Structure 1
Amino acid sequence: MNNTILSTQSGERLSFYKLFAEKGYRLMIPIIQRDYVQGRQSTQEVRETFLQALYDYLDENKPNRDLDFVYGSLNTVHQTKDFIPLDGQQRLTTLFLLHWYLAQISENMPNLRETIFEENKSKFSYETRSSSAEFCDALIDHDIDFHELLIPDEGRDNSLSKTIANSSWYYLSWKYDPTIQSMLTMLDAIHKKFAGKLEFFERLIDEEQPIITFLFLNLKEFKLTDDLYIKMNSRGKLLTAFENFKAKFEQHLDSLDKPYYLTRGSATEKVTIKEYFSYKIDMDWANLFWNYRTLQNRSKNEKDDNLDDELSNFIRVIFANQYATSVKDIDDSLEYLLGTQNAKKRKDYTHLISFHKYKELNALSGESVLSLIDSFDNLVNGNDKIKSYISDFYQFYYDEHQVFENALKHNFTNNQERVCFHAYVRYLILNKDRKGIEQWMRVIHNLTYNTIIDGTPEFTRAVKSIENLLPHSATIIDYLQENNKIEFFSSWQVLEEKIKAHLLNKSTNEWKTQIENTEKQSYFKGQIGFILEFSGIVDYYNEHGNCDWADDEEKKFFEFFVTYSQKAIAIFENKNQKYNSDFVWERAVLTKGCYPLKFKGDSVTQKNKINLLHTDVASNNIARDFSWKRLLRIEENEREKIFVKQVFDDDRLKI
């Protein structure tokens, strides 16, 4: 009996080299596998023990030294059989690295390439991360001059890994791939142990009398399942929640027929959406999120070198926002995606959403997937944090760095901030020219922060309104000036933005400077319509539909606006104790007339209740329901606003 074929109860004896040279297989480490760990710093004893055993086997030169069983299966893909190991990944990866090393030092790389390199790809590869697969390809494709290794770092035997990492073909982003880093550590250990052993390569690839072998047990042949493997391999580190999501999500991408163009090095090729996502999530996008890996609070025993939570939260935010664009105002799935208080009361609620949960929530539409990829692509900035498109002056309206970090923590300050984030990301996706983003975010800030967006229905309507505005986002001021209808947002704020658009489009910048400086007063948050009213600008606009007054009126209107702006800022500035102590301001307005507003409630008591207004931003909705901002809304509370204007016009008011 051929001694390379044992009974089906024992498995088939194979060498690593014979998998490719004789069988013609590809060896694919499956998604379900954990990272390669034999090269980790923490496994030094395991690594050295295993390498010593391999060294002894090759040195003794006796055939068929089995490395125990390797469980797996054979899958046929495009007439090529893939060998899928479900156990033994660590040993097989080390053998791959040993073959590469011995071929390099014995100048046998052409022979090795002929056997395990096809169409510029290594026939030994990883499905867990595209970066791991890319590294295997590059390793086989390039030679290392062992006479020109770099000097190792002090106290380390890392001359080989240092040389590889310094090569032109080595991507900087690979330093974030734990499998690649573990491989580099193992190569250093192999170099230390096997240096000068050129004769070992021929012994390693001997097909007649192979030295190092293993016993392959085909799970399909034995009608065994992956579940059994998981039980057998339970001693290993389980995949993280995000790795499980990513693996299943990448499989889901097979159902989408959307080509992409992927650039690797100097070459650009047409790839499937799955190939594009798999490569980018482990490479370019990982580079971005690496800068934010410390945002989430982790346990004392967990290192801050994990991007999973930040990536998971970002994906959740994008999916939730995109989902909101196409659902009804009240939707349980959206509540879950947003993580509302109602959703958190559900027994099945979890902060980390699995792939199957996303599918159950119907959140994996083609539009959502494309939006996610577009969002990643438009936020990535090489190896750095996100790029700044908004100048310091406009950070009041939208702090892109802070809000992005809040998104990665899934911890927005309020729904308004979440809506603004959606508007910001969608602008980047739709507009290659970023020049209009500051005015876009200014308008969106003013609309959202002066509209009640408490619950999911309001959030949904806000997002849908943003979607309607997005085609005009790059020229939003022109769009407002044309008096187009804007859904959902507070009518008084929409009218105010339209009037300001006419002023901002005037030939000089003085209106723009004065308006924006006034809007940025912390109490106003962009709502300054009452100043436009006091200046007579609203009356002119209502009569003419524009602000195209004569030159002699230009100076008058501008001076009025400046004067009332200065007084308003002085009075409502929170730090100005002159008007905010002993209710001085409230008492001054009461000398002109009784201004308290009635509470708009359901009960008789509530309907008859009146309240003095307050300038503080307080809890219990005081700032919203009983604030001066409410009284000063454009074209509302006309009688009460007259009292405020009279105080502003009183000669005794000193600012």
Structure 2
Amino acid sequence: MSQTYSFTGIFSKPVPYSSENNLVTISKIIVPRIQRNYAQGRNGENETKIRENFLREIFKNLAVNTVMGMNFMYGAVKKNKENDKEEYVMELLDGQQRFTTLYLLHWYLLNKEKKQNDPAFKPVRDALKSFLYETRTTATKFCKSLADYTCDFGEDKPSEHITKARWYYRTYDKDSTVAGMLVMLDAIDAYYKKYDIKNALERTDNLQFYVLPLMQFSKSEELYMKMNARGLPLSVFDSFKADFTGAMRKVEQLNNEKVQLEGGMEGEEVTHIENISIKLDAKWIDLFWNSSRKKDSDISYMRFFSRFFACRYLIDNQRAPKEMRDTEAAVNLFYTRTEKSKDQYLGFDKYAEELQAHPEYFTAAEKVLDTLQEHQGLIKESLTPVWDKDKEEKGNFFVDADITFTQTLLTVMGAIEEFILTFETFDEELYKKWMRVVWNIVENTDIDNLERVATTLRIVLPNFRPAERGFKSRI
């Protein structure tokens, strides 16, 4: 999948429909009713951080006129039932936030740079009118009116002119999507003035993304529900995922390496970054999804990553185990503070430091998650010792944040991760033997703090690593 699209290009370049060779042209992009409201314009701490980071990257690229990759837009491509013409629409399943921001950016630049009547920018005007919001009637009407609205707001904030327009109704004030769009337009205005870019609208084709129609991914409407059942505000995991994928783009090897597209057509390749991004949204979510606790699935997803990083820090860090008591050690954020915080995003700085020192953690997390999904039953069974009579009641701490998590279980998690990462393939019989050893050790060790976790892991793990990693197996 090498074809990229821009905000205007999505309406002119054909996209795959039912196969790679069956191409159709999209006439409309729709944000369907089931989608969450526009969240990038909210004023919460997490949303503000994501908005500022996203706009900063956009304007940096516009300033130097270079391509900015915006990952994938997932959508369900369907025939337009509103008329008899051979037209196709795409309902956005993931990418709504980014695409809405592109819509607002293009409207702003079209008016700010006074290109409303320039024939060269007719594709921009047409694209604005081809983007439809169906989350609420007020959002639908607002976007239609905004696409037709032209104004000269000079040095004023865009929101000041829009809210005074004759077509702007007071009922729009109560729509969180509309309110978020006005916040985003004012933020775009601030960055435009800060970077002082001339003719920025001419450079917006450099803001590019890939398109992945849903039917190519062999997923049903169930995926649609899972990707959008996380509430109206951006979740803790949404914030982490944005930072995680942003950090991943800085790894040259992942940018250059081509891999088979997960869930794609045979022979279809993408960069390793794009493949991991797809798995984050459309594959691994199955591990954490539970219809009885939809709103908590993102918390469990986030908790997996924080615990994963805690384990890697305890195993790989060169600091002495006793230094894990230091409140400034990253493991205290990954484990101690995060375990106490259910729905608060504690920032990405510590994660960024570890990923900069260990870029292999991106593919390590990928391998662990792939293995957890492929061997769910066996791994869940191994999360309690074979002699435990209450296995079914204990659950799976890898994927369920509601399960009480202790330092002992953190030790077990680290041992499982290391087994997965040590061997190229997952040997089920060897894994069972290893877990018997692990449980014998942890059940007979007093593990009541992070220092004990680090000590136990660093003593135990070298005893099973294979010869090719410089160790002899005792299993």
TM-score of the two chains, using structure 1 as the length reference: 0.38
User: Which structure is higher in RCO with an 8 Å CA cutoff and minimum separation 6?
Assistant: 2
**Larger radius of gyration between Structure 1 and Structure 2:** 1
